[in-house]
Amino acid sequence: MIKRILVIDDDEAIRKVFLLALEGTSFQVDTVSSGEKGIEMVQEQSYDLIYIDLKMPGMNGVDTLKKIRKINPDIPVYIITAYYGEFADQLTKAQADGLNFELMMKPLTMDQIVCLTRGILEGSTLY
């Protein structure tokens, strides 16, 4: 069965890196440019993994995570950011509120994206 991934990031270059990194895999990747669009996608489709940028215009990654958790509390969510310090208090509060997520620091290489994704969805870290 094909595993579905959603990438929510306002940076088109980052979305393209995820698409390029995962194009040779068996994963189906959808990308959107905002938290609001990401919420719509999660309401319409089932995903096996979601990557969320933290700093986005409009709805930031923490607010997006909160809404995703109301729709699906169990899906693996990885917040990818270069702005941890700016959002540290919000992330700490989200964890204290029981919102499950993992945090990864940007930049990620294409190999790291593939390895991380396979590890999460297949339990494998081999290329």
The token pair at 86 is 């700016």
pLDDT at 124: 64
Q: Is the pLDDT reported for residue 125 higher than 80?
A: no
Q: Are 22 and 6 in contact (CB under 8 A)?
A: no
* % of the chain beyond a pLDDT of 90: 91
Q: How far apart are the first and last CA of the chain?
A: 19
Q: Is the pLDDT reported for residue 84 higher than 90?
A: no
Q: Where are the alpha helices (DSSP H) in the chain?
A: 12-22, 35-44, 61-71, 84-96, 110-122
Predicted confidence (pLDDT) per residue in 26-79, tens digit: 999 999 999 999 999 999 999 999 999 999 999 999 999 999 999 999 999 999
**H/E stretch holding 104:** strand 102-105
pLDDT confidence band for 1 (50 / 70 / 90): confident
Predicted confidence (pLDDT) per residue in 40-55, tens digit: 999 999 999 999 999 9
pLDDT at 51: 98
Q: Is the pLDDT reported for residue 99 higher than 60?
A: yes
pLDDT at 127: 45
pTM for this prediction: 0.94
The CATH number for 4-122, chosen from 3.40.50.1370, 3.40.50.80, 3.30.1490.100, 3.40.50.2300, is 3.40.50.2300
Q: Are 121 and 48 in contact (CB under 8 A)?
A: yes
Q: Are 41 and 50 in contact (CB under 8 A)?
A: no
Give residue 110's identity as a one-letter amino acid code: M
Rounded CA separation 113/119 (Å):
10
Buried b (16+ CB within 10 A) or exposed e, 87-102: beebbeebeeeebebe
